[in-house]
């Protein structure tokens, strides 16, 4: 045992450049050769021929009659068994699938070697070599099962153990689905295409989020197959503790093959939305065309092959969430003159004016004191002639209500160019390229600035997403039992969003912030909002450079794989959309007046309700809150990831295979090339700042530019984490595949245990980039915002870019806030264990039944570290012995920050999952294919909650004892049954004439 293991480790070091995973784009083939009496036949020559390309490999059976081929491209193969004294057996149409080991057991009959016995597609369907869980989705399923957006992620939920929301067929764009697997979140999945890691390093999600592009999604006609591994995958795969999804695109062969396609959807048979119908509006538009072609074949027979694909998508969608909105409106009419508006709202005052007893200026009956900015916005018309602030469709009890369908437009063009070249009998080179160009124009902003406050029409953003993936691979057969595979991958994912406000700040008569010309977002809670979302105006570009190499070595009963891996991630982004700012007005009369409050020091002597001048007459503006942003918002993050693995599939007995592996993952924390990161470590902070303030607790990276104020700590690394890069993430994995019934290959017991780690995205650490001294968030409210008006909503204005860096010390009463990254931030971890039974019944029916459990630790969460505590004479807090609203700022752990002003992104969450899973699948025969997947499970966690929508983290209510928040996870579905079926009209397909050719 020791010698083969040592030798394989040396071989891994000598032959390996870095590696990500062994089975991400390949499969394997193994089997046992016996004589007529069932005795093992050693020394049998096993010839392997890939039927599509003519590529050949050979192997010899060992003393137990066992053979194995590793690192095989998925596809159909012919296998020939020959030895002197026995008839030669040739098996055709043997299918090798991605991430799976196909098994072909053969019995040879005594006879002449020149006698050939032909057998077609007789292979074991149950998995007898591995303990991994999951499901393969083949070419026929992808082609024949209807998908509303032709997106393969809409099939991930067919597997047991997977939880997903119901697919919204009206969603705009690609409609990529996120899934939860065995208690993991949507951020814990790993997506691969042709061996390359294609995950979004920004959001961690599969779909597009704001300006963060999602994974590339090739069209189904270009996909050969994909495999979703839901658990117990071997040490060759890592990076996730949820699903491991492996997609393989098609390659060319010795025969030309291809086709053209067109898929069309329209709204002819659609019902109208309830609210549109109530308001007398027509049903929303829904038109989609998806068209394209595929073509593959030889450039040179048995030598050079190509495959190409194109798909175009054009969609006009008035039904999706970004196209269909209901809006509350004031009781406006189409007469927008000042006099008409004054007649409707005469005598009304702002909310705070009413709280002071109905004092200060009211709207005059002739409308002469309506704010010029408000009048401009009320009279502004969109290109279609409708008012920007629309006239309500219906008015009930003085409140206008309208439902609008503003069609979103989506356009996609994607291309695949694959080349495979057989350099020699021992070396094969392949290069696979995917390009996708997506553009959208949404009807409404993607999210609401204030919950349940929707934007009016005319504010829809523009989006552009670009996705490019290149994978180059060299496979070398060094000996009959030693194979090396080297791989390089490059992934570029670009996203740009542009705010959709129809007029600039200058056109509206508004003085914008110092770093933007756009109109600020204007929100009226309970009514509507104007302008773009704060996230509309971002630019992101993520690039990944991956090097990979692995070896596969078969020796006796051992099948060994090993390798190393490296990935360099570059993120360049600019969030200048936030610089337009946000203004909140508590009511529509506040909007119409838009007045500042009495200047500081003038109320009530020289400025009051009886002598208001050009103010509200009280020390409060009509603008409740003004949020201004300013600073350097461009960031250039870098991350380095390494991995190493060793895997041994040891055949202890003809009926028993043991899978043993160890993986080591080093997930490097993010750094910024210019050092523009500011973190906060509560352990380094003075609880109560001294007179004059303090900078204690603030931490900057080692490459932070410039001189630091006294108290700021310079880290010894570029990430600001206390321990630098964590090096302790080792992942042992062990599993077995056991056939307990001698001579029966149809019944297999699978069991396993493993540790898995997730590579976190950078979504949770943005706060450390948008912090002092290179960024200022000016949130003014109450008396501090008294000088704000609609003409000058940010008064005083945030500082200009030339003023940075700006260091502001923490003081008593400074009411600061920041987002910090926990000093001990680490990779989320899960332990998983399982016991599953698999049985192949007659008629091609497969049945699986099993139990899966998992325990997650170090999960992503966000906690408020500065929650105010309860004081008493026996337990004083910073000198306070009572609990009042006025002294809450002194009862927090770190004085100078607000009670919600220290929000930490940390890895302290926990979860548990227990599930009973069952799957019954009937393979395609007599035109019929069926599958039923049932999951009875429960997921508990202590997070309230890790939201998948945008990857935003929210903390629990009791921050000091997060374990008390343990409960059923929001995505937990106790029972889930998924049925899928397919009937193929085989008589038409196999027939002659026109029907047979369609």
- Is 99 within the bounds of a domain? yes
Domain count, the chain: 2
* Predicted pLDDT of residue 140: 84
Averaged pLDDT of the chain: 89
Other beta carbons within 10 angstroms of residue 305's beta carbon come to 24
CA gap 492, 571 in Å, rounded: 10
CA 444 to CA 461: how far, in whole Å?
7
Does position 16 have pLDDT exceeding 60, yes or no? Answer: no
What is the DSSP code (8-state) at residue 153?
G
Residue 255: per-residue pLDDT: 94
- Domain membership of residue 529 (yes or no) is no
Q: What's the order of all strands across the beta sheet hosting 399-405?
A: 324-329, 399-405, 394-396
The radius of gyration of the chain's CA atoms, rounded to the nearest angstrom, is: 32
Q: 401, 387, 376, 408: which is closest to 454 by C-alpha?
A: 401
Q: State the average pLDDT over residues 544-567.
A: 93
Q: What are phi and psi of 796, to 5 degrees?
A: -75, 150
Cis peptide before 521 (omega within 30 of 0): no
Q: Is 462 helix (H, G, I), strand (E, B) or coil?
A: strand
Please give the C-alpha separations between residue 537 and each of 305, 383, 550, in angstroms, as whole numbers: 43, 22, 42
Strands (E), 347-406: 394-396, 399-405
Domain boundary among 104, 124, 144: 124
616: containing domain: 332-391+586-622
Mean pLDDT of 20-31: 69
Banded model confidence at residue 993, pLDDT cuts 50, 70, 90: low
pLDDT in tens, 735-781: 999 999 887 788 999 999 999 999 988 876 777 878 899 998 888 98
Beta-carbon contacts of residue 725 (< 8 Å; ≥ 6 apart): 666, 668, 669, 717, 719
Rounded to whole angstroms, how far apart are CA atoms 872 and 882?
6
Reduced to 3 states, what is the DSSP secondary structure of residue 157? helix
Q: How many CB atoms lie within 10 A of CB 638?
A: 15
The answer to whether residue 14 sits within a structural domain is yes
Structure tokens at 408: 């979103």
Mean pLDDT of 703-709: 93
> For 335-339, 604-608, 950-954, which range has the lowest pLDDT when averaged over its residues?
950-954
Within a domain: 683: no
DSSP codes, 818-845: EEEE-TT----EEEEEEEEEEEEETTTE
Residue among 408, 537, 415, 538 at smallest CA distance from 467: 415
Q: What's the pLDDT at 801?
A: 85
Residue 688 is predicted with a pLDDT of 96
Dihedral pair phi/psi, residue 507, rounded to 5°: -65, -35
- The predicted model gives 201-221 an average pLDDT of 91
| CA proximity to 621, closest of 835, 353, 313 | 353
- Percent of the chain at pLDDT > 70 equals 93
Q: What is the pLDDT of residues 505-522, one digit of tens each?
A: 999 999 988 888 899 999
Report the alpha-carbon distance of residue 600 to residue 783 in Å, rounded: 8
Judge whether 527 and 439 are in contact, CB under 8 Å: no
Residue 549, by phi and psi: left (phi above 0), alpha (psi -120 to 50) or beta? beta
Predicted pLDDT at 726? 92
Bond into 945 cis (ω within 30)? yes
Token code pair at residue 374 = 């408000």
899-904-905 Cα angle (round to 5): 150
Q: Can you give the pLDDT at residue 22?
A: 42
Among 577, 606, 622, identify where a domain stops.
622
Residue 594 lies in a domain: yes
Q: What is the pLDDT of residue 122?
A: 62
Question: What pLDDT score does 957 carry?
Answer: 53
Give the mean model confidence (pLDDT) for residues 322-340: 95
The residues facing 929 across adjacent strands are 982
Instruction: For residue 402, report the phi and psi dihedrals to the nearest 5 degrees.
Output: -140, 150
CATH at residue 84? 2.60.40.10
Q: Which helix (H) or strand (E) holds 49?
A: strand 45-50
Q: How confident is the model at residue 6 (pLDDT cuts 50, 70, 90)?
A: very low
pLDDT surpassing 90 at residue 982:
no
pLDDT for the residue 499: 82
Q: Which residue has the higher pLDDT, 536 or 315?
A: 315
Domain-located, residue 232: no
Confidence of residue 131 (pLDDT cuts 50, 70, 90): confident
In a domain, 118, yes or no: yes
DSSP state of 590: H
Work out the pLDDT band at 451, boundaries 50, 70, 90: low
For residue 950, pLDDT beyond 90: no
Q: Span 419-425, mean pLDDT?
A: 95
* pLDDT at position 963: 64
Residue ending a domain, choose from 99, 124, 149: 124
Put residue 577 in one of left, alpha, beta given phi > 0 → left and psi -120 to 50 → alpha.
alpha
* Residue 703 C-beta-side C-alpha neighbours within 13 Å: 12
Alpha carbon separation from 398 to 194, 350, 573, 594, 751 (Å, rounded): 60, 17, 46, 22, 66
Q: Which of 921, 933, 912 is nearest to 852 (CA)?
A: 912
Taken as a whole, the chain contains a residue count of: 998
pLDDT digits (tens, 9 = 90+) for 814-825: 889 888 999 999
Lowest-confidence range among 5-9, 188-192, 531-535?
5-9
Domain contains 498: no
Cis, bond preceding 515 (omega within 30 deg of 0): no
Distance between CA 121 and CA 124 in Å, rounded?
9
In the beta sheet, which residues pair with residue 937? 915
């Amino acid at each position: 045992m020791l010698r083969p293991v040592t030798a394989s480790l040396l071989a891994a070091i000598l032959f390996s450049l870095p590696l990500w995973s062994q089975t991400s784009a390949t499969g394997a083939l193994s089997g046992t050769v016996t004589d007529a009496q069932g005795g093992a036949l050693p020394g049998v020559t096993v010839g392997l021929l890939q039927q599509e390309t003519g590529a050949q490999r050979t192997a010899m059976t060992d003393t137990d009659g066992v053979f194995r081929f590793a690192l095989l491209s998925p596809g159909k193969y012919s296998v020939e068994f020959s030895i002197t004294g026995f008839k030669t057996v040739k098996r055709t149409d043997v299918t090798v699938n991605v991430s799976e080991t196909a098994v072909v057991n053969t019995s040879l009959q005594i006879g002449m070697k020149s006698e050939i016995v032909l057998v077609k597609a007789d292979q074991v369907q149950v998995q007898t070599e591995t303990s991994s869980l999951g499901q393969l989705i083949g070419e026929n399923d992808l082609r024949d099962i209807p998908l509303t957006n032709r997106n393969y992620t809409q099939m991930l939920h067919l597997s047991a153990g997977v939880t997903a929301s119901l697919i919204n067929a009206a969603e705009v764009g690609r409609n990529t689905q996120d899934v939860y697997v065995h208690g993991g979140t949507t951020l814990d999945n790993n997506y691969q295409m042709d061996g390359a890691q294609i995950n979004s390093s920004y959001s961690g999600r599969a779909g597009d989020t704001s300006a963060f592009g999602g994974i590339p999604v090739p069209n189904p006609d270009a996909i050969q197959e994909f495999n979703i591994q839901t658990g117990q995958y071997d040490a060759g795969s890592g990076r996730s503790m949820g699903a491991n999804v492996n997609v393989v695109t098609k390659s060319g062969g010795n025969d030309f093959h291809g086709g053209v396609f067109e898929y069309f959807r329209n709204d002819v048979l659609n019902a109208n939305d309830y609210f549109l119908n109530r308001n007398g509006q027509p049903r929303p538009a829904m038109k989609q065309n998806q068209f394209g072609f595929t073509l593959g074949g030889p450039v040179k027979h048995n030598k050079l092959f190509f495959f190409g694909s194109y798909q175009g998508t054009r969609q006009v969608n008035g039904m999706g969430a970004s196209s269909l909105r209901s809006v509350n409106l004031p009781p406006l009419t189409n007469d927008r003159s000042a006099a008409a508006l004054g007649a409707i709202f005469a005598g009304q005052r702002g909310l705070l004016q009413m709280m002071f007893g109905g004092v200060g200026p009211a709207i005059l009956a002739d409308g002469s004191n309506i704010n010029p900015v408000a009048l401009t916005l009320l009279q502004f018309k969109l290109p279609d002639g409708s008012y920007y602030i629309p006239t309500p469709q219906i008015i009930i009890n003085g409140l206008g209500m309208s439902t609008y369908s503003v069609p979103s437009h989506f356009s996609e063009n994607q291309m695949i160019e694959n080349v495979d070249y057989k350099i020699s009998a021992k070396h094969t080179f392949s290069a696979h390229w995917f390009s996708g160009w997506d553009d959208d124009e949404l009807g409404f902003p993607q999210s609401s600035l204030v919950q349940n406050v929707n934007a009016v029409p005319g504010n829809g953003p523009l989006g552009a997403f670009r996705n490019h993936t290149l994978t180059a691979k060299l496979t070398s057969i060094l000996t009959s039992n030693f194979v090396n595979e080297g791989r390089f991958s490059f992934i570029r994912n670009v996203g740009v969003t542009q705010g959709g406000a129809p007029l600039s700040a200058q056109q509206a008569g508004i003085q914008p912030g110092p770093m933007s010309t756009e109109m600020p977002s204007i929100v009226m809670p309970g009514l509507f909002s104007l302008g773009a979302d704060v996230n509309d105006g971002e630019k992101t570009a993520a690039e990944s450079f991956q090097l990979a190499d692995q070896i596969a070595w078969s020796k006796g009963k051992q099948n060994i794989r090993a390798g190393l891996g490296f990935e360099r991630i570059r993120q360049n982004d600019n969030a200048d959309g936030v610089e337009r700012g946000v203004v909140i007005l508590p009511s529509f009369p506040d909007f119409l007046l838009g007045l500042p409050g009495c200047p500081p020091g003038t109320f009530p002597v020289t400025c009051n309700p009886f002598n208001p001048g050009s103010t509200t007459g009280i020390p409060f503006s009509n603008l409740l809150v003004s949020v201004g942003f300013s600073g350097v918002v461009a960031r250039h993050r870098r991350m380095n990831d390494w991995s190493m693995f060793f895997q041994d599939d040891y055949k202890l007995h003809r009926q028993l295979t043991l899978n043993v592996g160890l993986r080591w993952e080093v997930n490097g924390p993010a750094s910024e090339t210019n050092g523009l990161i500011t973190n906060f470590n509560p352990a380094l902070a003075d609880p109560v700042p001294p007179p004059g303030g303090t900078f204690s607790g603030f931490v900057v990276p080692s490459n932070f530019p410039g001189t630091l104020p006294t108290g700021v700590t310079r880290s010894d690394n570029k990430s600001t984490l206390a321990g630098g890069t964590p090096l302790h993430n080792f992942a042992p994995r062990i599993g077995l595949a056991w056939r307990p019934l001698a001579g029966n290959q149809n019944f297999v017991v699978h069991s396993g245990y493993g540790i898995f780690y997730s590579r976190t995205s950078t979504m949770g650490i943005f706060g450390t980039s948008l912090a002092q001294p290179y960024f200022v968030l000016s949130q003014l409210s109450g008396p501090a915002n008294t000088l704000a008006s609609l003409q000058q909503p940010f008064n005083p204005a945030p500082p200009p870019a030339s003023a940075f860096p700006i260091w502001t010390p923490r003081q008593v009463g400074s009411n600061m806030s920041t987002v910090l990254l926990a000093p001990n931030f680490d990779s989320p971890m899960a332990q998983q264990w399982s016991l599953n039974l698999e049985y192949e019944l007659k008629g091609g029916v497969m049945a699986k039944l099993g139990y899966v459990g998992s325990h997650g630790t170090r999960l992503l969460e966000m906690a408020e570290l500065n929650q105010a505590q309860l004081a008493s004479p026996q337990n004083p807090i910073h000198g306070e012995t009572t609990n009042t609203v006025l002294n809450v700022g002194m009862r927090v752990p770190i004085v100078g920050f607000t009670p919600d002003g220290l929000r930490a992104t940390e890895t302290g969450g926990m979860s548990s999952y227990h599930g009973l899973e069952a799957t019954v699948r009937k393979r395609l025969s007599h035109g019929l294919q069926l599958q039923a997947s049932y999951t009875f499970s429960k997921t508990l966690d202590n997070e309230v909650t890790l939201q998948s929508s945008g990857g935003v983290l929210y903390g629990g209510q009791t921050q000091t004892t997060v374990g008390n928040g343990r409960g059923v996870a929001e995505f937990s579905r106790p029972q889930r049954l998924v049925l899928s079926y397919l009937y193929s009209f085989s008589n038409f397909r196999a027939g002659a004439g026109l029907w047979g050719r369609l």
